[in-house]
Structures are given as structure tokens and as C-alpha cells.
Amino acid sequence: MLKGLYRLSELLALLLGLFVLLVILAQVVGRFLGFVVPSALELAGFATAGLIFLGLGPTFRAGGHIRVELLLRRLPPKARAPLGRAALGLGAAASLYAAFHLWAKTLESLRFGDLAPGLLPLPLWIPLAVVAFGMSVFAVALLEALLRSFRERP
């Protein structure tokens, strides 16, 4: 089940990456042809934020994030696992906290009808929901790694 969640997050990140490419390409072509894509920079910025957050969980699960292995390797073997678990626990707590507040901000934005300030009146809850979903997937990935660290013997 979690594998499907990570794949969904990857797919959505890919689609947002393609969207950024198309928006920037349309803006470049538009300059040559004499038209402007309304709110292109704003749309690309929202999509880039979504792309980054949607990629956090799958990238962590694939081992793509920078870790402090240099420090862990210098510790005695008995201290490595507890310190690794502590780091995962702190990361999970911080990401759960961030996800909670991102979802709260998304609901607040939806309730008040907040709109992007550019030419295109995009409801702000849409990009906020994408970022909140990405942070939630990252929190799940950290929790999964923390639980796995307790099941595995060092």
C-alpha cells in the first residue's frame, strides 16, 4: 500500500515537472510570437514547490537524501542504532508537525477563498494542498523507516 502512495507522489511530481517545462516553454515561445502567458512565473513557482515536496518521500525512501553517515560511522556500533532512531524520530515529529500546519493552512485558505495575487485568480488552497500532501508522504516515509529500524537488528 505504501509503495503505491510513493509511486503516486512520484507521478504527481513528474507531472508538475512537465507542467513547469511547458509553462516556461510557452512563455519563451510567447515572447517570440508577441503574447504573454498570464501568471506564468507564478504558476511555475507553485508547481516547483509542489514538485519539491511531492518528491521528498520517494527520494527519502530511495536513499537519495543526504545523511550524516560520516558522524554515524565514527560512533561505536552500539550507539549508531539509537542515534539513527532518534534522528528518524525527530524528523518524523517535525514533518508531522509541518504537515498538520500545512493542512490547517490549506483548509483556512479554502474557507476564506484566498486567491493568488497574479493575473490568474488561482485559489491558493490548490498549491497548498499539493505541498501538504507531499509533506504528509514524507512524514509517512520517515515513520516507516523509524518502525523498520525497530524491527531490524543492527
> How far apart (Å, rounded) are the C-alpha atoms in residues 62 and 69?
16
Q: Residue 123 pairs with which residues in a beta bridge?
A: 115
Percentage of the chain beyond pLDDT 90 is 69
pLDDT at res. 68: 65
For residue 104, which amino acid is it? A
Upper half-sphere CA count for residue 2 (Cβ side, 13 Å):
13
3-class DSSP state of 115: strand
| CA dist., res. 8 & res. 70, Å (int) | 33
> pLDDT tens digits for 130-144?
999 999 999 999 999
pLDDT of residue 153: 64
For 20: left if phi > 0, alpha if psi spans -120 to 50, otherwise beta; the answer is: alpha
Q: What is the pLDDT of residues 14-70, one digit of tens each?
A: 999 999 999 999 999 999 998 988 888 999 999 999 999 999 999 999 887 777 677
Residue 69, H or E segment? helix 69-74
Whether the model clears a pTM of 0.85, i.e. scores above it, the answer is yes
154 vs 68, higher pLDDT: 68
**How do the domains of the chain map onto residue ranges?**
2-151
Cβ neighbours for 47, distance < 8 A, ≥ 6 positions apart: 16, 17, 19, 20, 23, 127
Mean pLDDT of 114-134: 93
> Once rounded to an integer, what is the mean pLDDT over residues 106-127?
93
DSSP state of 134: H
pLDDT of residue 154: 54
